[in-house]
Amino acid sequence: MKFLRITGGKESVRTKRLPLVWRSGLVAVFITATLGALPVLAADPAQEKVLRVCQDPNNLPFSSRNLTGFENKIAALFAQELGWKVAYTWYPQRMGFVRNTLKAKELNSDTYKCDLVTGVAVGFDLGATTQPYYRSTYAMAYVKGKGLDEVKTLEDLLKLDPEKRKTLRLGVFGRSPVVDWLLQNGLIEQMVSYQTQTGDPDQYPGEMVEKDLVNGTIDVAFAWGPIAGYFSKKATSVPIVAIPFKPRADIKFDFSIAMAVRFGEKEFKERIDQLIEQNQQKITAILEEYGVPLINERGELVVQSK
């Protein structure tokens, strides 16, 4: 669930097994300060006509400093609809993200640095969340032509010849729901564990697919669907297949993703809700362009073609 990390860190969603949205799980925190006996209020974005967005500068496919992530594109769409400018506050979405973005004020000012986090999991209780703008799922990815081409589901992976299956190195982010599935099926000893928060701002979750899967460090990458879908779609040196998981009853792999503002900013939240509702088709088109596997309103997987 913003990567969307949605992690188990101190500022993470208070729900277990949310997606790595990877760095997308951090939210705004409502802050009230005082100046003497008078309350200090955040500047009104509508008056300033600036959409101030908090994003990670190195977290594709979600966001990047060169504005090539889908959350960048959606923020630009919203600003265009509003007739506003976009201003970014960049900070890695890991421990300290909220403190240094939504909670932080400009130097010598009572204005918060930014007002909107563009990817958080629904159900998250540290900020005011909008209506969801997409629902996705975890996925597995592998290099085509290396003996896994017949694997189309998790069950197919279990049906592989036991000797073949025992040789597989399975890349998994710690504390993701995939870990539960590996435990249930006796595959935990084959897990190559990846940290959700490495402490290195130059690293990003997509490296699991873009680098380690491509160079053979792992044989299968289990990742949040937008990550697996995007990096499989853009792979050029080797063909990568991404298999999104269908919703299931025993383990929750699918999550709805929304945006977040500070508590108490009702009018601004309603404005963002309206933008999501009015531009849902355009938002979905952007997500499809990035290879994001989507779950529709009926709970069905919308298969994205590579």
Question: Which segments within 158-293 are labelled E, that is strand?
Answer: 170-173, 191-194, 220-224, 240-244, 254-261
Helix, strand or coil, per DSSP, at residue 218: coil
CA proximity to 228, closest of 139, 136, 137, 120: 139
Cβ-contact 115, 262 below 8 angstroms = yes
What is residue 304's predicted lDDT score, i.e. its pLDDT?
61
CB 232 within 8 A of CB 306: yes
How many Cβ atoms are within 10 Å of 50's Cβ, its own excluded?
Answer: 17
pLDDT number for residue 48: 79
CA distances from 226 to 61, 177, 270 (A): 7, 15, 26
Residue type, 302: V
Contacts of 164 (CB under 8 A, 6+ apart): 147
**Contacting residues for 125 by C-beta, under 8 A, at least 6 apart:** 13, 14
Q: Two tokens at 70? A: 């889908």
Domain parsing of the chain, residue ranges: 4-134+254-301, 137-244
Determine the pLDDT at residue 306. Answer: 52
Q: Do domains 4-134+254-301 and 137-244 have the same CATH topology?
A: yes
Q: Assess contact for 241 and 141: CB atoms under 8 A.
A: yes
- Give the pLDDT of residue 159: 96
Tens digit of pLDDT at every position of the chain (306 positions): 443 333 333 333 334 444 544 343 333 322 223 223 333 445 567 677 999 999 999 999 999 999 999 999 999 999 999 999 999 999 998 888 878 887 778 989 888 999 999 999 998 777 789 999 999 999 999 999 999 999 999 999 999 999 999 999 999 999 899 999 999 999 999 999 998 777 788 889 999 999 999 999 999 999 999 999 999 999 999 999 999 999 999 999 999 999 999 989 999 999 999 999 999 999 999 999 999 999 998 999 986 645
Residue 95 amino acid letter: M
278, 81 contact by CB (below 8 A): yes
Which residues contact residue 79 at a Cβ distance below 8 angstroms, ignoring those fewer than 6 apart?
Answer: 51, 85, 86
CATH class of the 137-244 domain in this structure: alpha beta
**Cα–Cα distance, 245 to 124 (Å, whole number):** 23
Structure tokens at 134: 């997409």
The pLDDT value given to residue 133: 98
Report the relative pairing of strands 220-224 and 63-64 from DSSP bridges: unpaired
Angle at the Cα of 21 (from 153 to 7), degrees rounded to 5?
105
CA distance 93 to 95: 7
- Of 84, 67, 62, whose CA–CA distance to 133 is shortest? 62
> What is the distance between the alpha carbons of residues 181 and 250, in angstroms, rounded to a whole number?
9
Please count the CA atoms within 13 angstroms of the CA of 190 that sit on its side-chain side. Answer: 21
CATH class in words for 4-134+254-301: alpha beta
Residue 92 CB neighbour total at 10 angstroms: 23
The predicted pLDDT at position 43 comes to: 59
CB atoms near residue 38 (< 10 Å) = 7
